[in-house]
Structure 1
Amino acid sequence: MGKFFERLALKEDPKVYQDKDSHLKQVLTVKDFIALGVGTIVSTSIFTLPGVVAAQHAGPAVALSFLAAAIVAGLVAFAYAEMASAMPFAGSAYSWINVIFGEFFGWIAGWALLAEYFIAVAFVASGLSANLQGLLSPLGFTLPKSLSAAFGTNGGVIDLFAVLVVVLVAFLLSRGVSEAARVENILVVLKVLAILIFVFVGLSAIKAANYSPFIPAYRQNADGSAFGGWQGIYAGVSSIFLSYIGFDSIAANSAEAKDPQKTMPRGILGSLVIAVILFVSVSLVLVGMFKYSAYANNAEPVGWALRESGHGMIATVVQSVAVVGMFTALIGMMLAGSRLLYSFGRDGMLPKWLGKLNQNNLPNHALLVLSIVGVVLGAIFPFSFLAQLVSAGTLIAFMFVSIGIYALRPREGKDLPLPSFKMPLYPVMPTLAFIGAFLVFWGLDKDAKLYALFWFIFGMILYFSYGIRHSYLAKSLKK
């Protein structure tokens, strides 16, 4: 039994990852990572969640929910920045935990993140399809019902636009990271400009009375969830945290960073700061334009608020850019997800074919598998019941990374390099980050935690039936 537990805690030599990932082209700069982070974080959610969470949970205090979620994300981002600076390997938390805690724990963290990327690709692709169809419909272009929605949803058989957009992004990424980064940089600038237009136009329609009371009195919703008071703000945090998970997509690509010691911390923390400012600004303007209750069951609160305040043309422009914004998120998610899958194949934990690079040193086999799974989930199967699993899986990885700082510090300057960035207020801040991520996870609904458990059990079966026997780390011990 002792040998069994020793086997689970077997740690990967960081030099092995450094050697394996050295074939990936180091072309991404701070500007590219900030664009990647903002493009992934400031996605579909900024155009929908502020209104939805205000109506369901927090009222005008939705801005406090975004701020509280940002504080937790910020604490974890400090841990991510130090980890990425010390270990700029593909696969982010999966690779880091493999090095500092061992293979079994690395598998758990990586498997949790894999759920995020599979579902996020499907989620964003389907959301983009719905918004694109909404924009094209007034122009007289409509798809047959069988091609306009997921299987079994409103007469749908397959979501054609969701398929096409995943294929398009996969083709773009298969041509190289630098090409994708150039497209991402341009689209992110457009998206941020559209958000700023909404904020400045919306300021002219704000009525002070809509902010009163800023924190409504507590009551219980019909579904048992909280509205108002600190309970409503807390419920809002768990619903909103999905918005901030995108900075993991930066870390997953750290093996392709120029000067990662400086690039990674600046990219991770810089993109998060920009995202927080945009989220809080949109939240405050939105609940100031109309009473928060007006956004109940409203799938497009930003566009609705602009149209209702007499800015129909601007609403069309902003919604058009929202579709573009989802495209940037898809680039970020597919780029990071393919690197995570590559890392599993690189280590033999999944078929080694996934860890192969093509003649241009790109992990296109992993990209192909991610694309196929994304198409299946987003275009054929209804996926709404899995949406919160995105947050659940990521929060598990966040807890591992936060507590992992305690195992990382003693090794810095020894078998690991001294990072140029270190998490401040050590040893207190890693514990605060862990507690924050745990509290957000605890606030998720029961279904999300149940689905996370099912995914975890499936992952354990796969690890003990395949991964533990085929991992290169295990084979290296037998030599």
Structure 2
Amino acid sequence: MNVFKRMIKKEDPAVYQDKDAKLPRVLTVKDFLALGVGTIVSTTIFTLPGVVAAQHAGPAVALSCLLAAIVAGLVAFAYAEMAAAMPFAGSAYSWINVVFGEVFGWIAGWALLAEYFIAVAFVASGLSANLRGLLGSFGLNVPFFLANPLGTKGGFVDLIAVVVIILVALLLSRGVSDAARVENILVVLKVLAILAFIAVGLTAVHWQNYVPFIPKYHVNADGTAFGGWQGVYAGVSMIFLAYIGFDSIAANSAEAKDPEHTMPRGIIGSLIIAVILFMAVALVLVGMFPYQKYAGNAEPVGWALREINQPVFATVIQSIAVIGMFTALIGMMMAGSRLLYSFGRDGMLPRWLGKLTAEKGHGERGLPNHALLFLTVIGVLIGAFFPFAFLAQLISAGTLIAFMFVSLGIYRLRPREGKDIADPAFKMPFYPVMPALGFLGSLIVFMGLDVQAKLYSGIWFVVGLAVYFVYGIRHSSLNDPK
């Protein structure tokens, strides 16, 4: 078999079904809704609406939220059908491996791996910064050398980031049931806090702040767009980053009860809840104060509450922001460990990553704790010791590429449903038009990212292809005649 034929060889879905059968199917619709909302509605809901309003869209930030949600929703339908038909660990990596072939699956999985490595570190670092700010308001200050990454503001290690990553890893190592219970409770608290902000903020809304709803277009000093539909479009690319968390639900589909029904409801339901909350927060924020007030403001929600003499609510919101990042960290580490497990399962990375726990002990059986350990170590190294702000661009760029693969993958999936792949109860509506719209929407958002994002994603994919040709293709399960 020549190299090209070897690269596009497809995995048998029955093999994945057999390998992933050892993962315990314990997660319900409620758990996936909490996981999705917990991951999507993280600290970004308290920061992004104000930032996007001030930098790009003005009061039309709500339109940016809506348009980003429409694109994410198109892809979410594709994810829902894929997850219902192929409830395998690894989400896009495993699906694309089955419908397009190994090299394309690897590219999609490698794209998502950047998201999870960096997102774990970013969320932990953001949690640390917010928690330190909260402690500082009570006169408790963490020394600089224990508060910042190596070489940043006199720092040596971000100790809080290290601790929270390890705590979440310990929780997940006991099993997804325990983690889901914690996630469910914390997500309810977070949603209640957001609803409280909306209720309080509505009492301070001034309708003149919405006029003009779409400000006149001009170019910012940094060359980016403000106002007009150009500004709304620029806002879409920023807001979209908040909605990509539904991939973390799909990555855990091998642990879903009745995945045919559970996965579509969890993926689409969590996105709908997130969109409603994002748009409500955005509209209330720009109604409370002129959008210009949020320029350079790192905590627009807390600031707005303090400005209307609600300091207690501001403190509560900041506390909930910390909780929100903890729930996002649970979701990202669950999904990232399942992706790494699927790489090890297939021999694309060392098979040690694909080992599952065999003994009951104090936790569940059949957990990818080796993959979880590896993710924890990488997350700690990036988040605690290295300044990594420039890597944030890889999160949205890599995920959008995976979204494009999944959207197009529906065209290869449909002819095989009911044959070698299960015929799912849920199917993407308006086929064959909607998959094309999902692909085009993701491409348009990708084109809206800045040059750095595209450059860093290009470098990441070159590295990924090198890993594939040096290690993956030689050790892949598809090379094993057994």
Alignment coverage as a number of residue pairs: 476
Q: Aligned partners of 1:195, 1:304: CA distance in 2, in Å?
A: 15
Q: Kindly report which structure 2 residues correspond to 1:37-436, keeping only aligned pairs within 5 A, or say none.
A: 37-359=36-358, 360-436=365-441
Q: Which amino acid aligns with 2:414?
A: R
Q: What code does the residue aligned with 1:411 have?
A: R
| Paired AA for residue 405 in structure 2 | F
Report the Cα offset of residue 417 of structure 1. 0.8
CA distance in 1, matches of 2:138, 2:228: 44
**Structure 1 residue 140: Cα displacement:** 1.9
Amino acid at match of 1:257: A
2:2 corresponds to which residue?
3
Cα distance between partner residues in 1 of 2:410 and 2:82: 8
Counterpart CA distance in 1 for 2:473 and 2:223 is 42
1:459 equivalent in structure 2 = 464
Cα distance per residue 1:407-432 (max 9 Å; x no partner): 00000000011001000000000000
Alpha-carbon offset, residue 217 of structure 1 = 0.5
Following superposition, the deviation at residue 33 of structure 1 comes to 0.2
Once the two structures are superposed, residues 364-423 of structure 1 have per-residue CA deviations (whole angstroms, 9 ceiling, x without a partner) of: 000001011111111111111111211001000000000000000000000011001000
Counterpart of 1:25 in structure 2 is: 24
Task: Give the aligned residue type for 1:136.
Answer: L
CA distance in structure 2 between the partners assigned to 1:19 and 1:3 by the alignment: 28
Q: Which residue of 1 aligns with 2:362?
A: none
TM-score normalized by structure 2?
0.98
Q: Which runs of 5+ in 2 are unaligned?
A: 359-364
- Looking at structure 1, the residues matched to 387 and 296 of structure 2 have their Cα atoms a distance apart, in angstroms, of 19
Q: Distance in 2 between matches of 1:378 and 1:231?
A: 34
Q: Matched residues in 1 for 2:416 and 2:119: separation?
A: 34
- For 1:262-295, what per-residue CA distance to the aligned partner results, in whole angstroms no more than 9, with x for missing partners? 0000000000000000000000000000110110
Mapped to 2, the partners of 1:195 and 1:229 lie a distance apart of 29
RMSD, aligned CA: 0.7
Partner of 2:88, secondary structure, is: coil
Amino acid at match of 1:427: P
Task: Report the 3-state secondary structure (helix = DSSP H, G, I; strand = E; otherwise coil) of the residue aligned with 2:2.
Answer: helix
- Correspondence for 2:477 among 469, 472, 479: 472
Q: Can you list the C-alpha shifts for 1:167-186, whole angstroms capped at 9, x where unaligned? A: 00000000000000000000
Residue identity in the other structure for 2:134: L
Amino acid at match of 2:478: L
Query: What SS does structure 1 have at the residue aligned with 2:77?
Result: helix
State the distance in 1 between where 2:273 and 2:292 align: 28
CA deviation profile, 1:429-475 (whole Å, cap 9, x unmatched): 00000000000011001111111001000000000000000001112
For 1:383, the aligned partner's letter is: F
Structure 1 residue 3: deviation in Å? 2.4
Cα distance in 2 for partners of 1:320, 1:39 equals: 15
**AA partner of residue 410 (structure 1):** P
Instruction: Give the Cα–Cα distance (whole angstroms) in 2 for the partners of residues 389 and 236 of structure 1.
Output: 18
Percent sequence identity over aligned pairs: 75
